[in-house]
Structure 1
Amino acid sequence: MSAAVHPLVLVLIPAAAVAAPLLADRLLRWIAVPTVVFEIVLGVLIGPDVLGWAHVDELVHALSQFGLAMLMFLAGYEIDFAKLRGGPLKRAGTAWLATVVLALGVGALINPNPLDGAFTGLVLTTTALGTILPILRDSGELPTPFGSLVMATGAVGEFGPIIAIAVLLSGNSPARTAVILGAFAVITALAVLGAQRPQPAWMARLIERTLRTSGQFAIRAVILVLAVMVAAAIWLDLDMLLGAFTAGIISRMLLSGVPAHEEEVIEAKLESIGFGYLVPVFFVVSGMNFDLDALLDDPGTLLLVPVFLVLLLTVRGVPAALLAPAGLGRHDRGALGLYAATALPLVVVITTIEVGAGHLPSSTAAALVGAGMLSVLVFPLAAQRLRGDVRPPVAEEEGRPRVRAESW
């Protein structure tokens, strides 16, 4: 271990990660606060701007980057594009393109530099799919037509910005960028074809035999897919987020032929690695890097928080609501827009990258993250209030609710 690593930080970050769900659980009787909000807040508390107990060293930074990669991997893994084909995905894509146009205009007004303005606007195009999915799952709405719309909106709101980040950060000419993305698409297509091939009998036996042993073949294979796709993205001068996100999609396809009970165990293990260890490190460290002084020292910067919150709702939420299916009711449209405007994880990711690359002032980044934190506190709760206590009829089968889903 490097001598520069302070032992206290190795304890404080896991302690903050443990305290976050405890605090969220204690507040649950009054308000549902996503755990990620507490992870960031506790990171701010122990970080240099408040208590000064923990600082980001090389080891902590490396663990944070692993957490970022795992976060994007799990985001890609949660998305099943096969179930979203057709109306929901097309409408979500159209709404996101409308959002991009509005966001680029807003970014140009905020920052006259074209590249910096594009980065600022890009933050307004994201949707916190990982935050929304548990809410829909717990309310029983995930398998419904409305759940499919929200799922498609969230999927595009994560995949689209990641592609945009990869393009903007490459620094290449449009022609070279197109060639590079084409090369990555070919690599991805080959990986998808390989993942969709029927599993050999020996592989199925090996997965089953090592699932609860030290061998852990399935988990190691998935981590290898993640490493290969991240390495491919970096090799092609693209951002690692694209590789990690794509690895999640490929891994879901790779495990689609695994028996359901084994797939559940594998998914639980991956979530344990991600949400139990690496992802909380990323968000706690993001809080430690949060420029609280820049946010509080300037009243104008602090006022940007509600401004950005309104912009998230206007730029991301309104297009999603307006371009929803014609048969969707007024309250459901409003709820869809509120869910679409819920954005925090990718806001943290994008602002972290932008500040590091010098494309965004840390004060503006702090205001954007603050707006993202408010969005996950306010928008999902408001969406649920708009739709009321919607719990579709369920039939119990093996202890799990089943709902017949339709398509818009």
Structure 2
Amino acid sequence: MTGETATSLLLIALAAVLAPVLSELVARWRIPSVLFELLLGIVIGPAVLGLAEVDGFVDGLSTLGLAFLFYVAGYELDLRRIKGEPFNRAATGWVVTVVLGLGVAGVLVATGFVLSELLIGLALTTTAIGTLLPMLQDRGLVGTRFGDLLVSAGAVGEFGPVLAVTIFLGTSSPTTEGLLLIVFVLLALGLAWIVERPRPPRFVEVMERHLESSSQLPVRVVILLTTAMVVVAVHLGLDMLLGAFAAGLIGRVLFPPDQSKLLGTKLQSIGFGFLIPVFFIVSGMQFDLDALTSSWDVAARVPLFLALFLVVRGLPAMVVYRRTLPTRQRVALGVLQSTTLPLLVVITQIGLETKDMRPSNAAALVGAGMLSVLVLPIVGFAVLGERPDERSDVSSPSASDPSRPAP
């Protein structure tokens, strides 16, 4: 390890500590620490102070952080809670979002504002569920009716674009990518079926005994599973995020519920305590601040893209959930599911590598994503008001029957 790498790691660790401290200092406004991670990354990176650099080692840690972000998102997604109406409405909403996104992107391409309809269209359809989940947990919304609907909408808004990126932005033809995706899904379903079978008592006993031992065997099993699914996805020519997300879904059912709950706490410690902050800080270090500040015209694109996030991703919620949620909660859900960032970074990187996206638009999109992480959760939770106290009842009659009083 070189001295420059060691210094960069030290500054990244310092930024990772300062981010939640700064978030706590402005707790009144409930600004998520992820925003400070991005901003501190910009400050210590080449764009401002130039104290830290992204070399191969640091970039590898950042990639692990991105993979773990999607693993945690998959792990926190309880399919049994969101199946049925939550998933159906989330999928319907995302399809409407895709149509709107491609339509808006088509207009932008026709005016010469952007180069690729597909890239911009997909960028407008994403939701940062990995970023929203900690906020939902901190506010006690996980397990409520509103929380399950938002988690479902966010999961589809993150997983759907990953699938689209895999199929349409992969190195092979869409047909080939689609066939490879089917192979991957079948492999994942087969593995999920295997791990859901009754576990041998010896397996359960060994995993439980080592959950608190120095070996941390269940954690190692999860790391192995994640790595294996990422390797399979990459070797099939698919995006690694697909493998990480699928590993999270499988990892959730690999262990009994009591072990899974404790293991989830450990994985969150690894993810949010170490790897995931590295990803966001390094993303800030790689942010092209010069492109964003090169002219007022480029800077003006940030609020424009933020408005498009709300129109394309948020507006459909007002229609899709009209028989499920009262108006105030629909507005809150629409605003919150417009929060986006991690996939924006991935999509803009693809656009820059393929020359299908101008650096100015890439910087403006990421800047709008950063602004969405700052502004939209504050607005969304303010609109929501008091925490919905009812536990999840999305499958109950009151959840779908408009004649029943809304909460």
Number of equivalent positions: 394
Alpha carbons of 1:67 and 1:326: their partners in 2 closer, same or farther (altered >3 Å)? same
1:197 corresponds to: 197
Deviation of the 1:341 alpha carbon: 0.9
Alpha carbons of 1:85 and 1:378: their partners in 2 closer, same or farther (altered >3 Å)? same
Distance in 2 separating the partners of 1:282 and 1:304: 25
Q: Which runs of 5+ in 1 are unaligned?
A: 394-402
Deviation of the 1:177 alpha carbon: 2.0
1:74 corresponds to: 72
Distance in 1 separating the partners of 2:6 and 2:325: 55
Deviation of the 1:5 alpha carbon: 4.6
Contact 1:169 1:238 in 2 (8 A): no
2:307 corresponds to: 310
2:165 corresponds to: 165
Map 1:52-71 → 2, pairs under 5 A:
52-71=50-69
Tell me the secondary structure at the aligned position of residue 343 of structure 1: coil
Deviation of the 1:380 alpha carbon: 2.1
Deviation of the 1:222 alpha carbon: 0.8
2:321 corresponds to: 324
1:236 aligns with 2:236: yes
Equivalent residue letter for 1:124: L
Tell me the secondary structure at the aligned position of residue 15 of structure 2: helix
Alpha carbons of 1:141 and 1:267: their partners in 2 closer, same or farther (altered >3 Å)? closer
1:289 corresponds to: 286
Contact 1:153 1:320 in 2 (8 A): no
Distance in 2 separating the partners of 1:274 and 1:337: 27
User: Root-mean-square deviation (CA), in Å?
Assistant: 2.0
1:12 aligns with 2:11: yes
TM-score normalised by the chain length of structure 1: 0.91
1:156 aligns with 2:156: yes
2:261 corresponds to: 264
Deviation of the 1:353 alpha carbon: 3.6
Distance in 2 separating the partners of 1:353 and 1:74: 23
1:223 corresponds to: 223
Deviations 1:20-77 (A, max 9, x none): 0110011103x11111100110000011110011111111111111111111111111
Contact 1:154 1:340 in 2 (8 A): yes
Tell me the secondary structure at the aligned position of residue 6 of structure 1: helix
Distance in 2 separating the partners of 1:275 and 1:383: 23
1:104 aligns with 2:102: yes
2:372 corresponds to: 375
Contact 1:143 1:405 in 2 (8 A): no
Contact 2:4 2:53 in 1 (8 A): no
Map 1:89-128 → 2, pairs under 5 A:
89-111=87-109, 116-128=116-128
Deviation of the 1:302 alpha carbon: 0.2
Deviation of the 1:357 alpha carbon: 4.0
Equivalent residue letter for 1:354: G
2:21 corresponds to: 22
Alpha carbons of 1:90 and 1:404: their partners in 2 closer, same or farther (altered >3 Å)? closer
The one of 20, 42, 45 equivalent to 1:44 is 42
Q: Which runs of 5+ in 2 are unaligned?
A: 400-407
Deviations 1:144-198 (A, max 9, x none): 3222221211111111011111112323223322211111111111111122112
Contact 1:96 1:320 in 2 (8 A): no
Equivalent residue letter for 1:65: T
Equivalent residue letter for 1:39: E
Distance in 2 separating the partners of 1:208 and 1:115: 54
